[in-house]
Structure 1
């Protein structure tokens, strides 16, 4: 995505350390995975033990008891996996697929919107980058688990990366952390001289920070309004469907511009220009929209 940079920096507290310690055993992981493989109905103690393959009933009961409550639910019908257990299995599967080599460079069909140069995508050390080879403009820089790419050809990398990162950004815009599901708090950074934030960016950015962990999503300001109805309809009226992939080639051909119009409270205007029209959103420090105006481009 234009100007996007997705980073992950976990900061587990004591509760998280306790949770991970409960899973530091192959038998316990096998229990969680067995329950995930049978989500339609609870499993009895004996059924679950048979699927895990532990002959010693006492040993199995000990490990199952450690998981019950946090990762496993016990009822009269038997044992079921809890949402926390699903998260563990999902993380295992996301990292289970590994590549023996990196991917790149994969040509991207769309030309650079800044210089009309050639755009390429690479995947190195679990990170995808989409960049212009001529002016070095970066359209996408994001960490992607290897499991996301399982089943796809190398040539599919740009589209898969675009769809995956778009889903993470949509989740952040709706207020949920992609790592711990905590509350994401959005704010506007207006540039390197912004006194309101410790972040230092050369251009205005939308920043989503998790209130629970240290996860942070940083993206070009236009991407914060990718699903705003005024923005969606504005581009659709000009023949651009924002739900389609490869936004670096179809939308933001001329990057949205931002200008600060008031300081206390902070108000900024974002201008989206297509052909002979301008859409202006007036926003605050928390990225909330306070005004919408469409007018002929100057």
Structure 2
């Protein structure tokens, strides 16, 4: 395995990939899915599982027929070793998604109360789940604070409060990765851009993350991308607020533009004023979300700018 540093590209030493259509065709068989499930049940991501152990778990009488389907999975989804069979990463990823209900389950939840107040009108927030998305919006004026895909398996065995906490971590994790240039879906390189051309009502400035490998795109207000910024986290921690657990949709600076100002149009620079506990800080960013300046001296909200 080769390693590189700086801006050098990495050329992984691996077997040639296969076309997406071929990959889906390989999985379009009940026996192969059963084999992957058996490998998952036997902890095939941790240690090799023998041919006989897999065969005993799959509902098939003909060992030659079983071996035929196992060989179809080998090399791309399953790795054969002297000790038995283990998952390759694509196989592990697919089977975990299938059995988590990502591709198979359907679920809906009627609106229920969510933490926080509307940044626009002060009304109470409600959450609901439909079409594989969890949405949190004002029950009075309808202003949407967040709407984001969430696997249906995430609803299992969770109370509404537990579901919202899991959703918070899910979205926060995705945007923290994206802000660091890592696609949360394929781990490819993500490009970040700040623009005054927005696709969502109520936003004057929008952040777009785009992965050119899998074409995943994330759009949001600026603040959502600063949840793991060291200065922002420290400012809140010193005032008793843990941004890793505080529901991000309860923070107006995180889900709206009400505390975002354009400092310069060419090049585009913006300032975000963040307040908590009666104090305020500001952070200035360029059009790639690089930090240009941080006002580290907390000042009372409403105090004049320098």
- With the length of structure 2 as denominator, give the TM-score of the two structures: 0.81
- 1:158 and 2:161 correspond: no
Give the Cα separation in 1 of the matches to 2:276 and 2:113.
26
Give the Cα separation in 2 of the matches to 1:238 and 1:38.
47
How many Å apart are 1:80 and its aligned residue? 0.9
Q: Which has the higher contact order (CA 8 A, sep 6+)?
A: 1
- 1:108 and 2:114 correspond: yes
Structure 1: 5+ residue stretches without partners: 1-12, 193-198
Aligned length: 278
How many Å apart are 1:191 and its aligned residue? 3.7
Asked if the contact 1:31/1:64 (under 8 Å) is kept, the reply is yes
How many Å apart are 1:148 and its aligned residue? 0.9
- 1:18 and 2:22 correspond: yes
Asked if the contact 1:225/1:231 (under 8 Å) is kept, the reply is yes
Match of 2:83 in 1: 77
Q: How does 1:221-240 map to 2 (within 5 A)?
A: 221-240=222-241
- With the length of structure 1 as denominator, give the TM-score of the two structures: 0.83
- Classify 1:200/1:250 alpha carbon distance in 2 versus 1 (closer, same or farther; 3 Å): closer
Match of 2:100 in 1: 94
- Classify 1:251/1:270 alpha carbon distance in 2 versus 1 (closer, same or farther; 3 Å): closer
- Classify 1:78/1:275 alpha carbon distance in 2 versus 1 (closer, same or farther; 3 Å): closer
Match of 1:285 in 2: 287
Asked if the contact 2:127/2:137 (under 8 Å) is kept, the reply is yes
Match of 2:146 in 1: 140
Asked if the contact 1:121/1:157 (under 8 Å) is kept, the reply is no
- Classify 1:223/1:260 alpha carbon distance in 2 versus 1 (closer, same or farther; 3 Å): same
Question: Pairwise CA RMSD of aligned residues?
Answer: 2.6
Q: How does 1:1-298 map to 2 (within 5 A)?
A: 15-39=19-43, 40-95=46-101, 98=105, 102-154=108-160, 156-192=162-198, 202-249=203-250, 252=253, 255-261=258-264, 263-264=266-267, 266-274=268-276, 277-295=279-297, 296=299, 297-298=303-304
Asked if the contact 1:280/1:292 (under 8 Å) is kept, the reply is yes
Give the Cα separation in 2 of the matches to 1:180 and 1:25.
25
Asked if the contact 1:256/1:273 (under 8 Å) is kept, the reply is no
Give the Cα separation in 2 of the matches to 1:234 and 1:190.
28
